[in-house]
Every structure is written in C-alpha cells, then in structure tokens.
C-alpha cells in the first residue's frame, strides 16, 4: 500500500479567467501566541484545471505536483462544493 506524501489543501476558487488554470485561496486560522486571539491568514495558489470544470466560488481540493508552468505547482483533485 503506497502512502500519499503530497500536501493537500482545501480552498475557494477566486479566479477562473485563464485557460486550464485557476487561482485558489486557502485560509488558515491559528491562535496568536501572545494575545490569544484567533488570527486568519490566507494564501493564493495557482492550480492546474485540465477540463476547466472549476468556476469562481467553488470549494476545491488541491495537491502538490510537478511544475506545469512558472507559477503552477498545484493541481485540482476534486470539487468539494459547487458555488450557487
């Protein structure tokens, strides 16, 4: 049984204007070490979308892959939830 070692993240598609590419915004929450307040940070990742299935507002799961281009190092695994 092979163990999948690639990093996976879940985020929201914020742009689908490119061909076979989307921009995914991944948000993380953590407790501030000094002030004990919940802090939210986000980061954007460019992901490869072969069939152009994803649209703006969709929640998707992405994983690391070999580089497709200068900025794309992630690919769409599945669409968790469609936008309305």
What domains does the chain contain, in order, with CATH numbers?
Answer: 8-81 (2.40.50.140)
Among 9, 12, 26, residue whose Cα is nearest residue 61: 9
Interval 10-63: pLDDT, tens: 999 999 999 999 999 999 999 999 999 999 999 999 999 999 999 999 999 999
Residue 14 in contact with residue 56, Cβ under 8 Å? yes
The pLDDT assigned to 44 comes to 98
Q: How many CB atoms lie within 10 A of CB 47?
A: 26
Q: What is the pTM of this model?
A: 0.90
Question: Phi/psi at 78 (nearest 5 deg)?
Answer: -155, 160
Query: pLDDT band at residue 84, thresholds of 50, 70 and 90?
Result: confident
- pLDDT the model gives residue 67: 97
């Amino acid at each position: 049984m092979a163990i999948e070692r690639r990093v996976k993240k879940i985020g929201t598609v914020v742009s689908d204007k490119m061909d076979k590419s989307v921009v995914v915004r991944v948000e993380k929450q953590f407790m501030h070490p000094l002030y004990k307040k919940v802090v939210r940070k986000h980061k954007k990742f460019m992901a490869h979308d072969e069939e152009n299935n994803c649209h703006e507002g969709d929640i998707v799961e992405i994983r690391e892959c070999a580089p497709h281009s200068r900025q794309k190092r992630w690919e769409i695994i599945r669409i968790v939830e469609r936008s309305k």
